[in-house]
Structure 1
Amino acid sequence: MSEAPDPRRIPVEAIREAARRAVAQTSLRAVARAIPMSPMGLQHFVNGTSPYRGTLRKLTAWYVNRTGSPGEFSEETVRAALAILLDGIADEQQPAARVQLLTLLVHQHQKAGTEPPAWLVGMLQSEGG
């Protein structure tokens, strides 16, 4: 069984590529305003620099909001969203908190009489829940 990626590691290259595509489709200033961050900061990020933690948090939130289409979430997007939700929880407590959040979502689907999405079931299994 393959090991799940570390959820604290935000998929920086995926965010960087999404930012590059967004800049190509619109403009540097428009994307920077949507994140929100400075255009020069975005340019540096797109060019490959490592962002500060606060900037990475903004970039991750932008990425999750931008890529989230109902029913079409990649595991990468879900892991990024979980990292945002668990920000501030001690590293050693995050695995249990992730399982609790995912389990709660499965229970909510059961309560509503709906089928949990495949990504939710798969992620809960990969987390050991």
Structure 2
Amino acid sequence: ELQLYGYQQYNLNGKKEALYFRQWILNFKRSIAIIYRTELLPSLYLYLYLKNNNDFKSPQYIEELNKEELSLIELEQSYKEEERSEKLNKLLLIISLLSIFQVVEIFFSDKNNIFNISMILIMILLEVFRKR
């Protein structure tokens, strides 16, 4: 009936159109046969029964798991942000310590003095930052 209805409804006159329609009908029949196969119905009923009567996974439990997962994600993000800021602070410290060489070089012409004064200032700054 379905095939005749399809031929009449869609005016399938060409061989190609008729072939595609027959393939579609065959796939439709297969899907219906698979869905209503006798082995699948008991497993479907069992699944629906377990889904409706399962006490372990109540909606509150799932919500609690979602909240716990969100809090873990937030903690992980905050930890990563702290690591980034710590690395950035170290990088800025290194840049500032290297800029001391340039500042000292402006005021002194002797290279030994530049190096000695810069190293003393760097050591002082490192001690100050270590105490913080």
Superposed pair shares fold, TM > 0.5: no
Question: TM-score, length-normalised on structure 2?
Answer: 0.24
- Give 1 or 2 for the bigger CA radius of gyration: 2
Q: Which has the higher contact order (CA 8 A, sep 6+)?
A: 1
Higher helix share: 2
